[in-house]
C-alpha cells in the first residue's frame, strides 16, 4: 500500500508519529504531508490569498515527509497534486486527540483532510482517539491499519471515507466495534464573554458538549458504550428527501 498520512495537530504531534511508525513497520510505503503547526477545527478551509510553502522534514527515516504552512485540506491537495510523485492508494488523517463525532465532523480538520482525499478520488480514513488523559495511540494505529488493509484488499470505491473513533481506555476494556451513522453534537453556552484590560468585551469559543445518545445507531452512542465507531461519510450534502418534496413546488 502507498499511503499519504496527514493530520490537523501538526507534523510533530504524537498521534501522527505513532501512526506513521505503525504503517512503516507493516512495510507500507508512507508519504507524510502535514501542517507545520496545529490547525485544529479548520474544517475544509483552503489557502487562496497567500502562497503555500512546503518544507521537507527528516522526522522518519523511511517516510518522505513535508511540513506545509497551510490547512489539513491544503496538505492533501498539495500532496496529491504536486509533492508526491507516486500513485497513492489511500489517505489517512490522524491520529487525532479527542473525538470527531456527529455534526462536529463539519468543523474537524482531521475529517476534512480525509474528505479531500475522497474528493480527489482516493479512499480515505479519519482516525481519532476519544481521550485527553493517559493517551496511548497504539490500539488506534492498529485499527487504522486493519481498516486500510480491508479497504485496499476489497477495492472500495474511490470516494470512500471512513470516520473512525476509538474510545478512551485500555484495549481490553473496549467492547467491540459498531458501524454507525452520524449523531448529534450540540454545545450549551458556546461562548464565554470576557473583558480585556481596557474594558472592552471579547468572546471565547468554548461551551459544554451535549451529545445525543438516544439514537443507538449513532457514533455518539457507540462511543458512550465503549465501542469503536466506524462511520462511512460522504461529501455529497444533497438532501434527497427534501429534493423530492420541492420538485412539486409551483
Q: Which of 121, 128, 125, 119 is nearest to 41 (CA)?
A: 128
Contact between residue 2 and residue 28 where contact means Cβ atoms under 8 Å apart: yes
Pairing of strands 191-195, 64-68: unpaired
Entry field: residues in the chain: 250
Give how far Cα 109 sits from Cα of 52, 74, 189, Å: 17, 10, 23
- Is 239 labelled as part of a ligand binding site? no
Q: What cell was used for 190?
A: 458556546
- Is 159 labelled as part of a ligand binding site? no
Contact between residue 54 and residue 66 where contact means Cβ atoms under 8 Å apart: yes
- Is 40 labelled as part of a ligand binding site? yes
- Is 133 labelled as part of a ligand binding site? no
Q: Residues annotated in the binding site, as ranges?
A: 8-9, 40, 96
Q: Residues annotated in the binding site for a divalent metal cation, as ranges?
A: 8-9, 40, 96
Amino acid at each position: 500500500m502507498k499511503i499519504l498520512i496527514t493530520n490537523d495537530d501538526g507534523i510533530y504531534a504524537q498521534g501522527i508519529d505513532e501512526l506513521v511508525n505503525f504503517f512503516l513497520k507493516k512495510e507500507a510505503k508512507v508519504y507524510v504531508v502535514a501542517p507545520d503547526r496545529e490547525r485544529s477545527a479548520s474544517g475544509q478551509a483552503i489557502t487562496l490569498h497567500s502562497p503555500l510553502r512546503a518544507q521537507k522534514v527528516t522526522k522518519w527515516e523511511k517516510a518522505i515527509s513535508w511540513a506545509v504552512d497551510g490547512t489539513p485540506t491544503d496538505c492533501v491537495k498539495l500532496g496529491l497534486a504536486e509533492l508526491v510523485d507516486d500513485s497513492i492508494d489511500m489517505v489517512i488523517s490522524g491520529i487525532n486527540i479527542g473525538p470527531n463525532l456527529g455534526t462536529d465532523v463539519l468543523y474537524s480538520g482531521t475529517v476534512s483532510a480525509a474528505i479531500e482525499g475522497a474528493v480527489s478520488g482516493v479512499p480515505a480514513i479519519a482516525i481519532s482517539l476519544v481521550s485527553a488523559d493517559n493517551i496511548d495511540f497504539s490500539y488506534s494505529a492498529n485499527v487504522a491499519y486493519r481498516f486500510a488493509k480491508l479497504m485496499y484488499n476489497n477495492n472500495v470505491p474511490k470516494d470512500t471515507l471512513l470516520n473512525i473513533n476509538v474510545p478512551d481506555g485500555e484495549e481490553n476494556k473496549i467492547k467491540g466495534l459498531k458501524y454507525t451513522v452520524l449523531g448529534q453534537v450540540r454545545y450549551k453556552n458556546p461562548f464565554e464573554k470576557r473583558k480585556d484590560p481596557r474594558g472592552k468585551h471579547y468572546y471565547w469559543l468554548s461551551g459544554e458538549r451535549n451529545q445525543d445518545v438516544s439514537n443507538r445507531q449513532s457514533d455518539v452512542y457507540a462511543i458512550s458504550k465503549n465501542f469503536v465507531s466506524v462511520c462511512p461519510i460522504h461529501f455529497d450534502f444533497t438532501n434527497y428527501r427534501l429534493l423530492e418534496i420541492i420538485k412539486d413546488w409551483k
